[in-house]
């Protein structure tokens, strides 16, 4: 299978994925896991939002626009599971991912040893069923594949 994506090593030594068509390297130069932690988990205040007692029964919904190789969504799952080990009263988590091209995730899953964040059942099940629910049901991750379409700009 010829993919428009290829695994590359960033200048910091992290493995990532490059789009051959446009040369863009996802998560450059940090790599997918570190960038997800720094930009999406820490800066969003995810831990504080999950632990907000005012909303303890209301799921926190994350819209993951551009699933890519699933690093950002899996970082949210990982954060949730770590918090749950020390805090039973955290909010349920509901992730809704959208993507029009799953080739980067399929490439990463075929090369999972290179991407430790993919050593989880969730992205594998997500690709098969478009949904993953944690064993206790407190995390729901849904995937909505988007069809590629032409964009029209009218003036």
Whether the model clears a pTM of 0.85, i.e. scores above it, the answer is yes
Task: Report yes or no on 116 lying in a domain.
Answer: yes
Place of tokens 């051959």: 20
Question: Are 107 and 68 contacting, i.e. CB atoms less than 8 angstroms apart?
Answer: no
Task: Report yes or no on 4 lying in a domain.
Answer: no
Sign of CA dihedral 142, 135, 40, 128: negative
Domain that holds residue 112: 32-145
Task: Report yes or no on 154 lying in a domain.
Answer: no
**Edge-to-edge strand order for the sheet containing 60-65?**
60-65, 93-99, 139-145, 131-133
pLDDT digits 0-9 by tens, 39-82: 999 999 999 999 988 888 899 999 999 999 999 999 999 999 99
What contacts 69, CB < 8 A, 6 or more positions away? 17, 26, 32, 104, 105, 107, 108, 115, 118
- Nearest Cα to 58, choosing from 87, 97, 98, 89? 89
Task: Report yes or no on 121 lying in a domain.
Answer: yes
Number of domains observed in the structure of the chain: 1
In 24-107, DSSP assigns E strands to 60-65, 93-99
Q: What is the CATH number of the domain that holds 107?
A: 3.40.50.150
Confidence grade of residue 153 (pLDDT, cut at 50, 70, 90)? low
């Amino acid at each position: 299978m010829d993919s428009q994506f290829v695994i590359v090593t960033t200048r910091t030594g992290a493995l990532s994925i490059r789009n051959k068509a446009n040369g863009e390297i996802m998560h450059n130069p940090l790599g997918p896991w570190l960038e997800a932690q720094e930009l999406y988990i820490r800066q969003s205040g995810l831990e504080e939002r999950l632990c907000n007692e005012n909303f303890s029964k209301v799921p926190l919904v994350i819209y993951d626009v551009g699933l890519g190789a699933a690093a950002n969504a899996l970082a949210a799952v990982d954060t949730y599971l770590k918090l749950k080990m020390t805090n039973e009263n955290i909010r349920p988590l509901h992730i809704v991912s959208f993507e029009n091209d799953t080739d980067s995730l399929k490439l990463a899953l075929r090369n999972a040893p290179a991407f430790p964040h993919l050593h989880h059942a969730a992205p594998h099940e997500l690709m098969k069923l478009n949904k993953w629910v944690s064993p206790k049901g407190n995390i729901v991750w849904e995937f909505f594949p988007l069809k590629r379409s032409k964009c029209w700009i009218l003036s």
